[in-house]
Amino acid sequence: MATRWGSPWSLWQAGSDWHTEVARRAGERSGTMTADFMKSEDGDKWKGPAANAYLKTLPAQKSASERVHKLANDTGDSLQSIAKGIAAFWIAGAFAIVSLVLEFIPEAASTATPAAPAGIAAAIASVLKFLVTWGAVIAALATYLTTVFDQLASLEKTANDNNDLAGPPTGHWPVATKASTFSNGGINPETGKPKWQLNYG
């Protein structure tokens, strides 16, 4: 513990980065994945089979982005919880050490007097009290971190479980277009024009 203090400030910053650099961006992206937003952005100029096919993929895209948004926020929360736990541990530990030192001062002075045995006994009692307090602090931190690490393990499991992603194929990030949707894009032999076309603008 004396050589590896931990770095709550680094953990806190990492959690903040998850909130601002990942969760925020995913949230902003998912907010654009609605039919109403697409219409408001292009003035409803995008029409035809391609536009309809793309709009049908938006719910899956939105769901996947919302999943990333929640996972990123939960990860950031957990990292910052660990930071707070480490900081609380060292604050409580510092309080216990300062209390021990303050008790030692008069007890050490009394050992230079005829009351030395009483001073020594008091010092031993102070050390025992410190050990009990320090043990309680360590136990509390261990319990707290066990809970947080369990949360992180659950987050990792959720992040790696892609069964709910639409793909294709299932289990992969949902794509904005599907090859089968656009397979009939050849030339109409009767008119010499595409069987369908993008009508944008």
Mean pLDDT of 38-66: 68
Is residue 193 in some structural domain? no
Is residue 90 in some structural domain? yes
Q: Comparing 92-101, 107-116, 119-128, 135-144, which segment has the lowest mean pLDDT? A: 107-116
Is residue 194 in some structural domain? no
Total structural domains in the chain?
Answer: 1
Regarding predicted confidence, which is higher, 133 or 110?
133
CB 151 within 8 A of CB 139: no
- As a whole number, the mean pLDDT across the chain is 75
Determine the distance from the C-alpha atom of residue 86 to the mean position of all C-alpha atoms in its chain, rounded to a whole number. Answer: 17
Structure confidence at residue 147 (pLDDT): 87
Regarding predicted confidence, which is higher, 161 or 128?
128
Is residue 192 in some structural domain? no
- Per residue, the 3-state secondary structure of 4-36, as one string, reads CCCCHHHHHHHHHHHHHHHHHHHHHHHHCCCHH
Amino acid letter for position 24: R
pLDDT of 130 above 90:
no
Which residue segment(s) compose the domain that 178 sits in? Answer: 8-38+45-182
Is residue 99 in some structural domain? yes
Mean pLDDT of 128-135: 86
CB 111 within 8 A of CB 85: no
Mean pLDDT of 64-82: 87
Under DSSP, the state recorded for 163 is T
pLDDT of 142 above 90:
no
Is residue 19 in some structural domain? yes
